[in-house]
Structure 1
């Protein structure tokens, strides 16, 4: 698997699984009816932020991540990231590889920590992955997310020092 900078051409391959994940409404705080153009604008970031794709040997996009500062001004030393793995490639280590990549990017870019603002507590695979990579749950916003099947569930704030 290769992780490389995403290009505008990659959006054609990202959009189908991005749309599927967002429309399911189970893991992202994006509107479930998010349109393609706005989704592209939100996901494909420009420098100094970054968006990458994980591809296999044939160039198939397996997943994607975006990396950015979490806040501005005097809090701009904290990074954040978001990840989407094509469900057709789940369980193959794509999410782990993307998360490890973003942590290294943030460290190399001089960030002091990484924080995820809204990890849905029922997204146990993501929570367990982040914990295995040194992230801790700092707190949980009770009923901060309306899951389409499980009702109101918590949103974790997760953090790790770099």
Structure 2
């Protein structure tokens, strides 16, 4: 099974992708997660790209496309994958389409998850993430046992720049 989940930030792409990946035993591929994980590894991203990721802005298409192509080319994606939130731009879609055709990979379904702006603000402004292990919590819907601390590793939780209300409304 090869699925693409699209939709605005906060629509549940990541949540649903994780559930589907677990159920079907296939990888969940998220360009955002790959980039954020690369921030934690020294030397994986150049200085400019690190600043773009930290600020919550979109990375240049060539970088996003490159990391997704690399990930989809890994052995575990051969039996299927859930592609979460990619492509986000027309050039990304065109590049992905070319890669899929060259690699003889057919996407089974593309799902678009709709969400109002107000609901997106509500969901995202309360989201908190662990910079160490990547765990996600919410101030209303999924609170950590100890306010502000990750249940899994004990690190201080933070709010991503792209989860702040002003950024969500842009």
When normalised by structure 1's length, the TM-score is 0.34
Which one scores higher on RCO, CA 8 angstroms, separation ≥ 6? 2
> Between Structure 1 and Structure 2, which shows a larger proportion of helix residues?
2
Larger Rg: 2
When normalised by structure 2's length, the TM-score is 0.33
